[in-house]
Chains A and B, each alone.
Chain A
């Protein structure tokens, strides 16, 4: 029993940390650009296919293929922002939302045209032996996922809080106009945010695909929507919130699947979201609006 609970918790941490990586992209983009980038989930899909191309078609070694994946996704994220969202900076939120949904379908359709809807099997490139701690068995991919996400979260937190570029990001997210008066190039800051968010989605895509080992044009939709829920749960716009939201969501999902019902797991996840938002409308770590003096 204890072993099983431990294993479920570790599973939950693993999926949760992937959700957290994706949720960071939603939340950072929301913080800076004040929009929900619904195409964010599909960046994961692009990342997965890029990794596949790098490994299976270009025969690149694993690390260069991963770097390529992150680079392709970053550039794609910046391009999407430049082409689709930037012209809408002053447009009503609904127009931006619809454009983002359209962009999501666009990416899926392009993948469908190139790769068709037949799933492509993909052999994990992360081949680490499982580790046995007591009676608990932890798979290699789990260890890599946890290690990678921990390192990324620490680096990202340091970047946002301790570097000049990170402070500039926080300044832009709070008051774009005042940030401009400081000499901060707002367009470049927004671009950089999309690049970082998309690189995180690429990492999530790599980890995800090594876990599920099958490629489909719609593979980004489910983790995308779950991570969006995680970002809202943690408080959209809050970086620690996205991390916490992702982990909490992964744990709830894993425990519900194991001990309540696989079918009900998603309903339980959304139920928790509703309850949290009823009690704390701005999410677990979301900032309450500061009243201007």
Chain B
């Protein structure tokens, strides 16, 4: 069964059509990459999937339920977490407070503490800096915090918007390794990236978005060898 199924989704900003009737799906346990140039509509797609923007047309199903009209604040408790573009950690809250915000909808106190311990194990730096304000962290640390915060909801699926953006090469590799780890421990991942090479190298499947349309899709390894993809997205 598809974990996420998007059908003929159209999204408008006023009269501008940013996403033009796209369909894609993510199976349980997969890493799916959504790649495309700046302005292609990747962020818009993710925002619509997690209820931040209502779609103009089309349907979105998550885990067998229609979430097309579900408001953003109800989606996270259904098991779908979003790591937004630009990280958007709460700069004036401490690292620990940020993590606890990630578990805002959870009621199981013991479970939350357990997840927190797991996240500290995965990101030891977050534990070292837990009482620091999130705004004082480096970019890479903030990205880890944004991921840890999303994981605090114990999601079935996580969507990530350009997690490697603006990070040093060392951090980029680390972030991609963490994404693989998260996936290996059972979380489905939808990954938006401009770093197509890295994204395709860890993904099972990929979709290529161009000015609001999906122009290519398929097995990630096959797309890596596709000439048009190579030319448009993989040239160094």
Contacts and interface: CB of A to CB of B under 8 A. Distances in A.
Q: By DSSP majority rule, is chain A's interface helix, strand, loop, or mixed? A: helix
B104 A182 contact: yes
Contacts of B138: 293
B52 A167 contact: no
B76 interface: yes
B216 interface: no
B88 A293 contact: no
A192 B153 CA distance: 24
Contacts, number: 72
B131 interface: no
B76 A181 contact: yes
A164 B112 CA distance: 13
Given A167-B97, A167-B101, A178-B84, A184 B90 contact: no
Interface in A154-173: 164, 167-168, 170-171
B173 interface: no
Contacts of A175: 88, 90
Contacts of B50: 181
B105 interface: yes
A293 B143 CA distance: 11
Contact of A292 (B51, B84, B86): B86
A181 B100 contact: no
Interface string B64-97: 0000000111111100011010101111110001
Interface string A279-290: 000000001001
Interface of B: 50-52, 71-77, 81-82, 84, 86, 88-93, 97, 100-102, 104-105, 135, 138-139, 142, 149, 153, 166
Q: Which 10 A-B pairs have the closest CB atoms?
A: A183-B105, A183-B76, A178-B88, A180-B72, A182-B101, A182-B104, A181-B82, A183-B104, A185-B73, A290-B135
